Structures are given as C-alpha cells and as structure tokens.
Structure 1
Amino acid sequence: MREVADCLQLKGMGNVTQGQTIVVKVIKTNECEIHANQLKATWTQPTGETNKTQVDEDDNGDFFVTGKCTNPGIYKLDVSANGEPIKQSPMVINVEKEGLVNTIKTRHQENIRDVFKCEDDCLLVSCSKNEILMYKQSGEYIGNLTLPQGVEVYRMYKMKNGNIVFSDWGNNSITICNMNGQLINSFGKEEMIPHGIHVDEASNIVYVGFTSSVLLYNIDSEQKIMSIGTWGNQEGQVRGVIDISLTNQRNVLVLDSCNNRLQLFDNEGRFIKVLVRAGDENGKVMKPRGVVVDQDDNIIILSEHKIQLFSSDGNFIKRIDKEDGIKDPWGISIISYHPRRVAVGNRGDKTIKIFSY
C-alpha cells in the first residue's frame, strides 16, 4: 500500500493570517488509482489538540484539504493514504496574528503620497517629488529613482514589464518611466490634475481619476478611450476621484473623495451601485484615500483614520488597523497573500506601516 502514498504529495502555503482560509492540495506525482475515501487528514493545533478533517475532490479529480485557523501559532496537517503518510506530510503552517507587523520610518521624513509593491520584497514610495524611494519590507532603505526636474510623482502603478505608470502633478499628465528612472512616455495632458491611477495590463488600458470623471487611455496609442462618471453629488456622479481599482470581474471601483463613497461601474462605464457610503462609523468612509482589491475579491479602503475590509458587494467585514495610530494615510498596496498583508503610507508620522489582515 506504500506505493499509493509515494505517488502523492502535499502542496500549500507555509504562512497564512489568523482567520484566513487555508487550502492544501494533494498532488499526484505519478499515475495511481486513489479515491478520496482512502485519504485521511488531521490538523494539529498549537495547543497539541488534534481534529480530523475531510479530504475533498474537485471537478478535475484532484484532492484538497481546507481549514481555517482562528488562533495564531504553528499548525500541522497530516495526510495519509491507506494509513501511510504521503510526501511532505506533516505540512507545517505558521498562522500569523492580525494587526501591525512593521513600521518603517522613512529616510527623509517625506510627504508620502503612494506606496506600491515591487519585486524582491521592495516597496516603492512616492512623495510628490521627482523621485521614487525604495524600501525593503523589513525597513531597510534601498535607494531611489531620480526623475527629471519638473516631474512630481503622485499615484503610481508598477507593471509586470518593469515600467512604472504614474500621475504626474508637475506636468498634469500620465507619465511612464522604467526602473532606471528614464522617462518612456507622457500623455493624457488635461486641464485637470490627475489623481488616482490603475492599469489593466490584460487590455493595456490605464484608468486615471480626475476631479469630475475617470478617463481611460490606451497605453500604446495614447488615445483616450472613454470617460466614466460626471461631476455631481448624485449616484453615478463624482467629485474628486482619489483612487481607482478593478474587481476580479474587471468592474471599476471609483473612490469618490468629496462625496465620501465607493461606487461601482461596469467596464463599459455604466453605473451599477454605491458599495460603501459616507459616515464615521465602521462600515462607512469619511475622507477616503485609497482602495485595493485582494485575490479573494475583498475590497480594502483606506480612510483618514482607519483601514477597513469589505466583501465584494460592499458588506463590512472588519477593521484592519485596530488601534495602531493610522493618521492622515495616503497610499495602500497589497504586498502578500500568504499571509495577507498590506502596506500603508502614514503621513501622520511619516512612516510606512505593514498590517497583516
């Protein structure tokens, strides 16, 4: 019976956040006949307590085990086939406590405007200047990208090809540079100052938030494609688009700062609904500053004094920051999914704060 166990292997995440759903796959490394009822799985908690759990089978005939660890600490998952442990069993999973993970003091005490994750554990930080600062998530200052005089980097988006697309307050345009600080292109100069920015790399479209609308441009042709929203207070109208993001279905999330709300539009620009409304209490927003979407299609909204997690339909889930001194924050970026982490630029004390949620 050992042959069956030898053709199977556990594959999953080594680190998760408290309360995050864990999915561990049982991979077939060789051809073998195996059924779900031949597999047994057991969780061992940090206290030493054990409990058996079900092994499920998906539509492709692959096996997986799910779990949700509510307490921080080291968990173990043992999986056996016909009583024999399979490869990589037991799997050790570190469950990280929710809340503040690290505070990075910025080197020059900068006026932070945005934070974005880069490769190699690096964070890009903009400060309305002609440079982009770089820090490791551990807090170490790496260096900076220096851009030509007159450029002012506000919101930014790092593309997979290595280029950085940003709203340029110095030139009232959308500007693109590479990781050497060389300018590649500049376009979309409007009468208004660009604010929020998001790139849909699948379609090569950049979404740019202005005072009275969101404008879409094709990055290659530089042509304006369409406009979303009009000036006003009514639903479907906007007054100051401070940030933009896309759902996993490619609908458009528009953070309407002066109206203190998050609105949802489809990718044709049609208004769908208000997801989050104005208010100081949890589940509402006041002076919103940033919005991002995680892999589970949850929405994270950064406001003047708090960070909140919402479901894709706008239902409030929880506060992320707890009592960690968020004040006048600008810029938010998801930096990890296992464990779930975000980085926030906190202008109140000129730091970058990293939270596990």
Structure 2
Amino acid sequence: MAVAEVQEMTSGLLRLGKKKIKIIYLMLLLSFAILLSAGIFMFFYVTGTTPYIGYLLPVFSPALPQYQYSILGEGDQALLKPMDVAVVDDRIYITDTLNSQVQVFKPTGEPVLSFGGSGREPGKFSFPYGIDVAPNGNIFVADMYNGNISIFDDYGRFLNYFAAAEDAVVDPGGLLIKDGLLYVCNLNPGSVLVFDINSEELINTIGSEGTGEGELMFPNDLTFGPDGNLYVSDTGNNRIQVYDPQGSFIKTLPIDGGDIYSPRGVGFDSHGRLHVVSKMNNQIAIFDSNWKKVGDVGDTVFNMPNGIAMDQRTRRVYVTDHISTLVFQ
C-alpha cells in the first residue's frame, strides 16, 4: 500500500474519531441538561415555590386540588351546617353545628362515632364551632354560644371544660393546638388567646378589637405557615394578618379585595401555598409564597364553605360547607 493511501486512511480515521468525540460530548451535555432540569423541577415542586421568566411567565407550578367526593353523613346523622374540620391520621373530625354534635368519619366517609347533643350541661353543645385534636387524642371543641371549650377523649366521652377558671374564653371560634399551646380565635371581642394546654393558663393575647394593623374583627381561623409565623383569618376586616410566634404583628397580606370575600378557614398545603376559604365567593383562593394568586377552586360545588383542614400525608384538602364536607386532592 502506498504511503499516500496510508496517510489518507489515517486522516480519515482521525476525522471519524473527532466526530464521535463531538457526538459523545454533545450527548453528555444533553444528559447533564436533562438531569439539571429534572432537579430544578423537583426542587420547585417539593418546596412549592414558583420561578418566573422575566417575572412574568410561571415555569413550574403544582396542580390545583380537584374536587373528589363529599362526606354527607347518613340518615338522621346527615351533616347540617358543619362549621369546622380537623384531620388526624385516618380520622376526620367535623363539628356538625346545627345538629349540636361532633361526627367522626373515616376518609372514605364511613361514620366512626358521634357525640354531643343540644344543651348547656357538660358534654352538650349550643353551637359547636372550632375543633382540634391534641397529641394524646383528646378532642377540643369550641362552643360559640355556650362560651366554652369542651374536652373529650377519643371515644367522645366528656372530660372537662378547658380553662374554665380563667374566665377568658367568651366567644370561641377556630382552634389550633401546636407545641403544647392552644390557640383560640375569640370572635368577640376580636383577639387570639394563647393557653398552655397542660396548665390551662392564659399566657398571651394576640391582637385586639379594631380595624387597624394587628387589630382583629371576628377572627375565624388561624394556622402556622412554613415560615413559622401565625396567619389569622380576620373575617370582619376581610383580610389575612400575620404575626410572629410571640404574637407581634408583622404585616397584612397584600391580597386584592376581589380575591377573598369573608375569609374563613386558612391552611397551607405541602407546597407552601396558602389556601383561604372565601365564604361569600363560594371558593378557595390559593396563593403562592409571594402572595400571588395562583387560582381558585370549588366555586361550582360549594354552598357557603367555612372550615378547612390539610392532610399533609395524603395531600387531601377537607372543606366544610352548609351540608357536607368536600374532599379535594
């Protein structure tokens, strides 16, 4: 074989090798880009934050919850104006207000137990409103018209009234138990009462009656956000107010008046988005971590919604309205 032919073959092999190297290099770059994009997507999906291109177009945003089914109760135990709901493991606790009782269901809607009844004696209700469950399984129920908070065991047996000696609870609404403290929305006069759940001592009062910053009018519900701050549904002032864990006012959320009308239940989902029950709009307004409205749900299925509970395990959202508790996911 001539020297020229050998040189030509060698040159051809070198060119082919360079092309293969370029192809491999491009494939590696493409694989890296795909992995990076997937990682970014998972980060924003898990944290619930939403990046923007030019601060205009959302790139990633978790889907809005969709209506799945309703929990109605059965026969003479059909729910009648349920006001609030709490979720613990596989139990759904609902204040069945106009039936003056609490009903407990499985997530499927199968009834587990009911307790209460109309009256003013221990274990009875006049207008059961807020509800929450302590880590030991005891059930706390705010009775707005009787002006007390009743404690029941997990079988629905009455134990005692909470903080009766304090004489501080006047018109209780929403309840929240967290880190050994019981937070009570006192509807009138507007404030949030904070008790030590064990000693039943009143240790703090957040807000006071009024329309100014940090003041409250008929606060209905409250929740803690991913930032550790307390978010209060200030119904009478048609706004959401934010306080630090010590109860100092931080801000009023910049929510347009048209987005919520008579805010009631509030809760954060696993993506860090705030859900606000807008009672008179018959919907849930959902806001991202920048307090931009990302959508609303439920306007075709609600009948005056009120309470809300978020099940972080299953990502289900439970919302009470006048005749049922609706389940979204």
Instruction: Answer yes or no: same fold by TM over 0.5.
Output: yes
Q: Which amino acid aligns with 2:210?
A: G
Matches within 5 A, 1:142-221: 142-146=112-116, 148-152=122-126, 153-169=128-144, 171-186=146-161, 187=163, 188-190=166-168, 192-200=170-178, 202=179, 204-210=180-186, 211=188, 212-221=190-199
Check whether the contact 2:148–2:169 (CA below 8 A) recurs between aligned residues: no
Distance 1:67 1:102, change over 3 A: farther
Residue 104 in structure 1 maps to residue 71 in structure 2: yes
> CA–CA distance in 2 between the matches of 1:105 and 1:313?
36
Residue 330 in structure 1 maps to residue 306 in structure 2: yes
Residue 113 in structure 1 maps to residue 79 in structure 2: no
SS at match of 1:66: helix
Partner in structure 1 of residue 42 of structure 2: 66
> CA–CA distance in 2 between the matches of 1:261 and 1:67?
31
- Structure with the higher fraction of residues in helix conformation: 2
SS at match of 1:230: coil
> CA–CA distance in 1 between the matches of 2:148 and 2:273?
30
Residue 274 in structure 1 maps to residue 256 in structure 2: no
Q: Which amino acid aligns with 2:274?
A: I
Distance 1:189 1:314, change over 3 A: farther
Partner in structure 2 of residue 319 of structure 1: 296
Query: Tell me, which stretches of 5 or more residues in structure 1 are unaligned?
Result: 1-39, 41-50, 58-63, 70-94
Check whether the contact 1:261–1:278 (CA below 8 A) recurs between aligned residues: no
Matches within 5 A, 1:1-357: 53-54=35-36, 66=42, 98-107=65-74, 108-120=78-90, 122-128=91-97, 130-146=100-116, 148-152=122-126, 153-169=128-144, 171-186=146-161, 187=163, 188-190=166-168, 192-200=170-178, 202=179, 204-210=180-186, 211=188, 212-277=190-255, 279-280=257-258, 284-304=259-279, 305-321=282-298, 323-338=299-314, 340-347=315-322, 350-356=323-329
SS at match of 2:263: coil
Q: Which amino acid aligns with 1:114?
A: D
| TM-score in terms of structure 1 length | 0.67
Distance 1:156 1:295, change over 3 A: same
Deviation at 1:313, TM superposition (A): 4.4
Check whether the contact 2:81–2:324 (CA below 8 A) recurs between aligned residues: no
- Structure with the higher fraction of residues in strand conformation: 1
Deviation at 1:278, TM superposition (A): 5.8
Cα deviation per residue 1:271-302 (whole Å; 9 max; x = unaligned)? 1111154623xxx3111110112233321111
SS at match of 1:192: coil
Distance 1:308 1:139, change over 3 A: same
> Bigger radius of gyration, 1 or 2?
2
Query: Tell me, which stretches of 5 or more residues in structure 2 are unaligned?
Result: 1-27, 46-61
| TM-score in terms of structure 2 length | 0.72
Distance 1:233 1:98, change over 3 A: closer
Check whether the contact 2:269–2:312 (CA below 8 A) recurs between aligned residues: no
Q: Which amino acid aligns with 1:143?
A: L
Check whether the contact 2:255–2:291 (CA below 8 A) recurs between aligned residues: no
> CA–CA distance in 2 between the matches of 1:97 and 1:190?
40
Bigger mean CA offset, 103-112 vs 138-147:
138-147
Check whether the contact 1:172–1:189 (CA below 8 A) recurs between aligned residues: no
Query: Alignment length, in residue pairs?
Result: 268
> CA–CA distance in 2 between the matches of 1:172 and 1:113?
16
